[in-house]
Amino acid sequence: MPVSWFRLAAAAAATFVLAYMAFAARLPLERLMPFFRAFADTLFDALPFLLAGSFVSAVLETLVPDRLVQRLAPGGKAGGILFGSLLGIALPICECGMIPVVRRLIRKGLPSFVGVTYMAAGPIVNPVVFASTLTALGVRSDLAYARFALALAVSAVLGFMIAWAMRGRSPLRADRGPGQGGSAFRGHDHGDGLALGGAIGLSTNAGQPDAHRLRSGSSANRAKLWRDRGAHIVAHAAEDLWDTGKFLIAGCLLTAFLQTALQPGQLAEAAGHNVLPHLFMMGLAFALSLCSTADAFVAASFGHYVPQGALLSFLVFGPMFDLKGMLMMLSVFKGRFVLLFGLLAAWLVLVGSVLVERMGWL
């Protein structure tokens, strides 16, 4: 807890110093407003999805036993990767809320390569994202279908590569105790899915649901059990929100700066040159860190400046790996894994989008 308060105080002090420097430099308010507007837009676009993801993660931790997750996950690599690729259709979560959910699933026994495949494909095969892409692109519906197909292909190959590279090792960072810089909510048990552990004194029988208590217990006992579970969900959601939220804010600040510094005219001029437009659009997707439910509307505005294949690179790479997502991943995954994931995703998206363009499928 003292560490958490120290970090909050440090963040508040840094904000005060930046505000004072801006005032001392007598920067006109109209010069700062675009930055604050871009920061607020990015933050409030992402925050609801992060809240939803943290809540889903907490529900999984509290109500879903480890054995159920391990039993549902296919055993083989091919089946597991197919399962992870299509899981985003059944469990649609934006990339902003994906990371806490994937961490929780891996902790509960889901093979890491399945979770990574879901993390890569989920924000794009999400039905809401697919519908928004069709709406934004209008007559260019073939680009929306190409986005869906390339995301599935890239995530599948990425899953196989991650499975080979990790060789069974966990990509997650080790938990830190409360005295080692961890969350204020560290300390409850993560081992058993439904287990509320000794913190609230429930008998969990190795992670199995305490259904007998619900059926045979008194109304007061049942009410207490559900209150305890509700408190556990809130505690875990707060833990996940703290772990990833501070990195989301940092990513939004950097994203707002880039969006303010890169003027639309400069972007259009750079995209107009026929030099590595795919890499340009992938770099732009990484820097802008747009939500996958809205990035197709930005991509449509570049339709007159860059080839369709470059737009495809923008639409597939951004939801898989962008600036704010990278910072959030670093709070959960090991640094070497994040680097490997980003490099492989960039290479696969580049090769795939160039191939789609050269084959005339767009």
Residue ranges covered by each domain of the chain: 39-358
Positive or negative CA dihedral for 293, 294, 297, 301? Answer: negative
Q: Cα separation of 111 and 152, whole Å?
A: 18
pLDDT at residue 171, rounded to an integer: 93
Residues 6+ apart with CB under 8 A from 352: 150, 153, 154, 316
Which contiguous run of DSSP H or E holds residue 60? Answer: helix 29-63
Q: Is 90 exceeded by the pLDDT of residue 120? A: yes
Cα–Cα dist 223/289, whole Å: 43
Q: pLDDT, tens digit, for every residue of 4-54?
A: 455 555 555 555 555 555 555 555 556 677 778 878 877 777 677 777 777
Share of the chain above pLDDT 90, in %: 23
Integer Cα distance of 238 and 283 in angstroms: 32
Q: State the Cα torsion 123-126-130-135 to the nearest 10°.
A: -90
Instruction: Dihedral sign for Cα 47, 53, 58, 59, please.
Output: positive
Spatial neighbors of 321 by CB under 8 A, at least 6 apart, are: 286, 341, 342, 345, 346
Confidence of residue 263 (pLDDT cuts 50, 70, 90): low
pLDDT of residue 193: 39
Pairwise CA distance, residues 58 & 12, whole Å: 28
Q: Which of 56-70, 122-136, 188-202, 264-278 has the highest mean pLDDT?
A: 122-136
Find the mean pLDDT for residues 88-108. 83
Q: Is the pTM of this model over 0.85?
A: no
Question: Does the pLDDT of residue 119 top 80, yes or no?
Answer: yes
Other C-beta atoms closer than 10 Å to the C-beta of 308 total 17
**Please, what is the average pLDDT of the chain?**
76
